Amino acid sequence: MDKALPSQLKDFIDEDSYREIAKDMLAMANKLGASQAEVGLQVSTGLNVTVRMRDVETLEFNRDKAVGITVYIGKQKGSASTTDINKASLQSTVNAAISLAKLTEPDPFAGLASAADMASDIKDLDLYHPWDLTVQEAVNLAKNCEQAALSLDKKITNSEGATLSSSQGYHIYGNSHGFIGAYPTSRHSLSCTVIAEDPQGMERDYDYTISRQRELLENAEKIGIQAAQRALNRLSGKKLPTQQIPVLFHASIASGLISHFLGAISGGRLFRKTSFLLDSLNKKVFPDNIQIIERPHLLGALGSAPFDGDGVATHDKAIVKDGVVASYILSAYSARKLNLPNTANAGGTHNIFIEPTLGDFNSLLKTLGKGLVVTELMGPGINLVTGDYSRGAAGFWVENGEIKYPVNEVTIAGNLRTMFQQLIGVGNDVDTRSSIQTGSLLIEEMMLAGV
């Protein structure tokens, strides 16, 4: 059963009326000749406060509503949306979608996901934990966070600010299969970015905490201190000569590598043939000990969802098993285009985990021996068509398994296919602040371009 609408959102929306809006729009579309239709309604409210150099720099409060409909007339598709939910506007939106559908070319793969795949049991995944936060309380927390950073050391000379954000929302999806699903969500975060300075120059760094529950956020002062310490650690960075070296992607940025992999095995890229991992299903891409899994129903997790963007029931699955690609990332449409089973990933993945194969960060340094720990990446530099990878980087030089000094103004380059094959191991220092959770990733060899 759907979770009852939380009391904190009842002042903002009327759940029953929103469900009726979805049903009414579907009925309007059917009356106008749509053979199928789907409606999505998003409601959100939130507070964002940024403090910089001890003063309030921005204070934003938002309340947003949006309704979108997609209609299918046979295999012709049209979509339209509105932020105005009065009946006349909703009728105009449906009319617009119908008109657009009549102008489009038929697509043999267009249409809703199979009725049999719809989520039939929408579980409460504990995604909603509102924070009854006043503006002054938000300002105080942001100020405390930044002050802790600025007070840590005289070398912390400037700040890009501390930001506290708290939001809650409600998502409803319905389609002409008779499916209507809904669930509330919340998300809270606190971040701080500061600048450290010494005679050799300035360096910036940051830290943040994020959770659906305010009780699980890290202490504001701790975030500020960690941001300042990270910036201080980067001072007096050195350049390196060009060389081939092993590279350890710190857990705080390692999820980016996994996201490149997920992007390369996503349906849109696969059916457009714009991925370096075409035809990789059931083929080895990683070493034997690499396991990547999706777990959409974890209680309270940032990426959890009971159904995907097509209304299809989400489920646990292996993405990579023993180094072999076990599943692509597909929506109903891309699954039909590729003649493969739907993987319930319309809108993306839900809670990706890469299982550790090595120990903690210090043991990873010992395994690395001599090479580069990367803690920041800059610039786009990723070509998912070819797999070519080239990014500006900063981090720390390691010798004899110990960090020796900070490094800046270098570029690391390789090819993602080779990098995945040369993944020596995954640390157990898992960063839990993302819907892609991984420890540090050790790559056997990459090109470092320096001085």
Q: What is the CATH number of the domain that holds 175?
A: 3.30.2290.10
Query: Residue 334 and residue 267: Cα distance in Å, rounded?
Result: 5
pLDDT at residue 406, rounded to an integer: 97
Q: Which of 200, 232, 264 is the last residue of a domain?
A: 232
Cα angle for residues 287, 292, 298 (degrees, 5° grid): 165
> Are 251 and 209 within one domain?
no
Residues 111 and 239 in one domain: no
Q: What is the mean pLDDT of residues 212-218?
A: 96
pLDDT at 103 over 60: yes
- Residue ranges making up the domain that contains 67: 7-232
> Could you tell me if residue 275 is inside a domain?
no
**Paired tokens of 323:** 């180094």
How does residue 354 score in pLDDT terms, banded at 50, 70 and 90?
A: very high
Do residues 223 and 239 share a domain? no
Query: Do 76 and 169 sit in the same domain of this protein?
Result: yes
With a cut of 80, say whether residue 1 has pLDDT above it: no
Number of neighbours of residue 68 by Cβ within 10 angstroms: 16
Residue 375 resides in a domain: yes
Instruction: Quote the pLDDT of residue 71.
Output: 98
Q: Phi-psi bin for 53: left (phi > 0), alpha (psi -120 to 50), beta?
A: left
Do 39 and 176 fall into the same domain?
yes
Read off the pLDDT of each residue in 176-200 and give the average, rounded to a whole number.
96
For residue 13, pLDDT over 70 is answered with: no
What is the predicted pLDDT for the residue at 9? 53
205 and 239 assigned to the same domain: no
Last residue within a domain, chosen from 232, 264, 284: 232
Q: Identify the residue with better confidence: 132 or 194.
A: 194
**Residue predicted with more confidence, 1 or 412:** 412
3-state SS string over the chain? CCCCCCHHHHCCCCHHHHHHHHHHHHHHHHHCCCCEEEEEEEEEEEEEEEEECCEEEEEEEEEEEEEEEEEEECCEEEEEEECCCCHHHHHHHHHHHHHHHHHCCCCCCCCCCCHHHECCCCCCCCCCCCCCCCHHHHHHHHHHHHHHHHCCCCCEEEEEEEEEEEEEEEEEEEECCCCEEEEEEEEEEEEEEEEEEECCEEEEEEEEEEECCHHHCCCHHHHHHHHHHHHHHCCCCECCCCEEEEEEECHHHHHHHHHHHHHHCEHHHHHHCCCCCCCCCCCECCCCCCCEEECCCCCCCCCCCCECCCCEECCCEEEEECCEECCCECCHHHHHHHCCCCCCCCCCCCCEEECCCCCCHHHHHHHHCCEEEEEEEECCCECCCCCEEEEEEEEEEEECCEEEEEEEEEEEEEEHHHHHHCEEEECCCCECCCCEEECCEEEEEEEEECC
For residue 6, pLDDT beyond 60? no
Give the pLDDT confidence score for residue 450 in this predicted structure.
Answer: 83
Judge whether 59 lies within some domain. yes
In a domain, 323, yes or no: no
Predicted confidence (pLDDT) per residue in 302-318, tens digit: 999 999 999 999 999 99
Whether residue 144 is found in the same domain as residue 205:
yes
Q: In the listed set 191, 216, 232, which residue is the last one of a domain according to the structure? A: 232
The count of domains in the chain is: 2
Indicate whether 22 and 94 sit together in one domain.
yes
* Look-up of token digits 């990426």: 303
Q: Are 245 and 370 in contact (CB under 8 A)?
A: yes
Residue carrying the six token digits 């008109």: 99
Looking at the fold, whether 187 and 251 belong to one and the same domain comes out as no
Mean residue pLDDT across the chain: 94
Q: pLDDT tens digits, residue range 32-61? A: 999 999 999 999 999 999 999 999 999 999
Report pLDDT for 16: 81
Dihedral (Cα; 22, 28, 34, 37), 10-degree rounding: 0
Q: Is residue 440 part of a domain?
A: yes
Q: What are the angstrom distances between the C-alpha of 323 and each of 27, 187, 420?
A: 48, 33, 9
Burial per residue of 228-256, b for 16 or more beta-carbon CB atoms within 10 angstroms, e otherwise = bbbbbbbbebeebeeeebbbbbbbbbbbb
pLDDT digits 0-9 by tens, 246-291: 999 999 999 999 999 999 999 999 999 999 999 999 999 999 999 9
pLDDT of residue 227: 98
Cα 360 to the chain's mean position, in Å? Answer: 24
Q: How many CA atoms lie within 13 A of 95 on its CB side?
A: 6
Residues 49 and 63 in one domain: yes
Residue at 90 is within a domain: yes
Q: What's the pLDDT at 212?
A: 96
Higher pLDDT, 7 or 231: 231
* Burial degree of 217 (CB within 10 A; 0-12, 13-18, 19+): buried
pLDDT-above-90 percentage for the chain: 94
- Amino acid in position 120: S
pLDDT tens digits, one per residue of 63-95:
999 999 999 999 999 999 999 989 999 999 999
What would the pLDDT profile of 366-408 be if each residue is shown by its tens digit? 999 999 999 999 988 999 999 999 999 999 999 999 999 999 9
Half-sphere exposure of 251 (CA within 13 A, CB side): 25
Tell whether 142 is covered by a domain. Answer: yes
pLDDT for 10: 55
Please indicate, yes or no, whether residues 199 and 181 belong to a single structural domain of this protein.
yes
Q: Is the dihedral of CA 258, 259, 261, 262 positive or negative?
A: positive
Query: Cα–Cα distance between 9 and 260 in angstroms, integer?
Result: 36
**62 within a domain of the structure (yes/no):** yes
Q: Report d(CA 417, CA 50) in Å as an integer.
A: 40
Same domain, 111 and 245: no
